[in-house]
Amino acid sequence: MTTTTRATRGVPVPHGVEYHRVLVGEKRRVGRGILAIALLLAGLFGSGAVLYEVGVWIDGLIRPDGDVGPGLTPVTQTLSLLSVALMIPWSMLIQRWLYGVRGASLHSVISSFRFDLFGRVLLILVPLFFIATAIHEYSRPFGTVHWSPTDVIGVLLASVLLVPLQATGEEYGFRGLVFRVAASWGRGRVTSLLLGIGVSTAVFSVIHFASDPWWNVFYVAVSTVTAYVTWRTGGIEIAAIIHSAINLSTFMFWIALNADLAERFDRSPGGVTPGLMIPVLVILLGVTVVVWFRTRRTGPVLTPSGPSATGSDGRTPVEVSGASAV
């Protein structure tokens, strides 16, 4: 009976630990962790390749002239974004399969998505990142191409609906699963944290295949800040907002400006200057400072201490502190 219940419910989340240390056990299980990361990347690139080919096939049926407009179509944009969004369930499945811990624990230390925290921070950060992107675009005009009304409407709709899911998928994969897996290789709290941030940042940066040093600085900065915020607030919510706001504001301006996407996706040396990244980096620094200031006395939000730690309102102290972390 006990064995059946355990297999059904999975390994319980340990009490009173930081978000990234949920998978820490008596053994480091480095080989299992490498397998988890390999499976995550295989799913990411495998689904991307398959859905891209499906998109090309569909476009061949509806665009017999072979015109792909600005470099992508509403179909390929939709399927490429969906392929990354699939990292959300895929990360949860890998964690449950290899570690026995319920996939829902990737949301936060209370194993659920904290919409109250998400909503408050969303209203603050999204406008700031749109302003930063506007400064970036104004500072250095890029090339343009012809976008048909169909491409504008279709890509815009796909982007608004799916870019947040695409960006959130990356957060669950890298600031969720990879962060935890790498952190489980360390014994001490500091070692665990440094391993988690370092490995997740390295993997996230490498998969973008940028040869321009400043693009890599940008990826390292985004990954480090979102991992830090996930650690301090005990969940993925704010990291998802940061990543979604950056990606969505970028696509919105590209569409509005009829951007040449071949030029915009170029990550070779000289593709960007450090000055263009300053507005976004300033916001990331500001987010880091605010999160540290708001959690400086309580420390990082932890998983609940147990059933006895429930207050009169039905919430545990960690739920209260998690909701007011920022």
Any domain includes 152: yes
Any domain includes 9: no
Whether the per-residue pLDDT at 1 is higher than 80: the answer is no
Any domain includes 11: no
Any domain includes 2: no
pLDDT score for 11: 82
pLDDT score for 325: 52
- Split at pLDDT 50, 70, 90, the class of 251 is very high
Whether the per-residue pLDDT at 316 is higher than 70: the answer is no
Any domain includes 6: no
pLDDT score for 172: 98
- How far is residue 177's CA from residue 229's CA, in Å, rounded to a whole number? 15
Mean confidence (pLDDT) of the chain: 88
> Does 266 or 227 have the greater pLDDT score?
227
Q: HSE-up of 85 (CA within 13 Å, CB side)?
A: 16
Of 94-98, 263-267, 276-280, 292-296, give the lowest mean pLDDT range: 263-267
Q: Is 31 exposed, middle or buried (0-12, 13-18, 19+ CB in 10 A)?
A: exposed
What single letter denotes the amino acid at residue 110? Answer: I
Of 103-112, 211-220, 233-242, 282-291, give the lowest mean pLDDT range: 211-220
Q: Are 243 and 168 in contact (CB under 8 A)?
A: yes
Q: Are 311 and 20 in contact (CB under 8 A)?
A: no
Any domain includes 301: yes
Any domain includes 115: yes
Structural domain boundaries, residue 37? 16-323
In the chain, how many domains are there?
1
User: pTM of the prediction?
Assistant: 0.89
Any domain includes 8: no
Angle between helices 87-99 and 74-85 (to 10 degrees): 20
Whether the per-residue pLDDT at 65 is higher than 80: the answer is no
**What average pLDDT does the segment 294-312 reach?**
76
Q: Are 98 and 35 in contact (CB under 8 A)?
A: yes
